[in-house]
Structure 1
Amino acid sequence: MEPDTTPTPLQALPEGRFSGRADFTEMIRQAFSAAAQQGWREIIVCDPDFEDWPLGERAVVQALNDWSKTGRTFTMLARNYDEVLRRHARFVTWRRTWAHIIECRANASAPADDLPSALLGPGWVFERLDLQRCTGMAGSEPARRVALRERLHERLLKSSPAFPATTLGL
């Protein structure tokens, strides 16, 4: 019996509106899984504090491990990373291991509603438009991707390095 050499079909990501915390967290899981499967070269994530992102889940960290390769970049932007440190221990360990491909930035002076809650990949994006109800839009339309990239770039220019991989003491 010969081994199955049929290629695995690429994972399709959701398009259109999403609503509710369950949809939101599942979309994040799917996005990181697709990034690993499709070999995305760049991921940018932004949220005021990443409190309700499933970054600490074993499946998410495994997908990020699978995604991590030379030439890849992962950029995070937040007001602060206190909730990441408090709630997402697996992610903090992953960040330490892959510090050379991860850039974490903060803009503590920005109002919380000034930072989008979004994920930007090379061919797909999502943005949570209402943080309380976890509603928003996802899609692969070029106009949506360009508009979000420009907004994130503008906020990244106003940010500074944050969330160091290691803390050195005297």
Structure 2
Amino acid sequence: MPNDFPAAALPDGPFDGRHAFRAHLQTALSAAARQNWREIVLSDPEFDDWPLGERAIVDALQAWSAAGRRFVLLAQRFGVFEREHARFVHWRRMWSHIVECRACDGPGLPEVPSAIWTPSWFLHRIDVDHGRGVCGSEPEGRRALRERLDECLRHARPAFPASTLGL
């Protein structure tokens, strides 16, 4: 996957396959700094097939990171991060003051969607097994996804601490 998408437009419309999902994620995170996004929400039950440990992803997050920004990570479980996303874990520790990690897992709680949400763009993987979904900037899609995310966040608890203190 290329490390730089200087003039790539954000994707719009349906997408199909893991490769398209990964490319859309990279394009979106590369656009985050250029477009001065104040907030990014990444949501997935486990993040097991996200390329968050890749250098290009962490470099894009590093370019975006600044005071006044907010990064929300919503999942059911965070166990995969230490095993599969070491670069991301390091970035998360450095920027813990702008990163909020929440877990929504339990009987009767809403299902965590596989999605990216920003104030101006979204991506929603509707069929995770096949990597199919939709993305774009249209307000109705962003609003509907944000409502789903907010419902999960209402029930979520703090999770995936930046550091573990022990005796």
In structure 2, the residue matched to 1:160 is 157
Give the Å deviation of 1:122: 1.3
Tell me if the contact between 1:13 and 1:30 (Cα under 8 Å) persists in the aligned partners. Answer: yes
Cα pair distance change 1:110/1:52, threshold 3 Å: farther
Gaps of 5+ in 2: 1-5
1:64-113 Cα shifts (integer Å, max 9, x gaps): 00000010000010011001221000000000000000000001216898
In structure 1, the residue matched to 2:42 is 45
Tell me if the contact between 1:79 and 1:110 (Cα under 8 Å) persists in the aligned partners. Answer: no
Decide which of 3, 15, 23 is 1:18's aligned counterpart: 15
In structure 2, the residue matched to 1:58 is 55
TM-score normalised by the chain length of structure 1: 0.91
Q: Quick check: which has more Rg, 1 or 2?
A: 1
Cα pair distance change 1:138/1:21, threshold 3 Å: same
Give the Å deviation of 1:114: 1.4
Number of residue pairs aligned between Structure 1 and Structure 2: 163
After TM superposition, the structure 1 stretch with the greater mean CA deviation from structure 2, 83-92 or 112-121, is: 112-121
In structure 2, the residue matched to 1:142 is 139
| Moved segments of 4+, more than 6 Å | none
In structure 2, the residue matched to 1:127 is 124
Does 2:74 correspond to 1:77? Answer: yes
Tell me if the contact between 1:78 and 1:106 (Cα under 8 Å) persists in the aligned partners. Answer: yes
In structure 1, C-alpha distance between the alignment counterparts of 2:110 and 2:102, rounded to whole Å: 17
Gaps of 5+ in 1: 1-8
In structure 2, C-alpha distance between the alignment counterparts of 1:20 and 1:43, rounded to whole Å: 23
In structure 2, C-alpha distance between the alignment counterparts of 1:57 and 1:141, rounded to whole Å: 29
In structure 2, C-alpha distance between the alignment counterparts of 1:34 and 1:40, rounded to whole Å: 8
1:95 maps to amino acid: R
Decide which of 89, 93, 114 is 1:92's aligned counterpart: 89
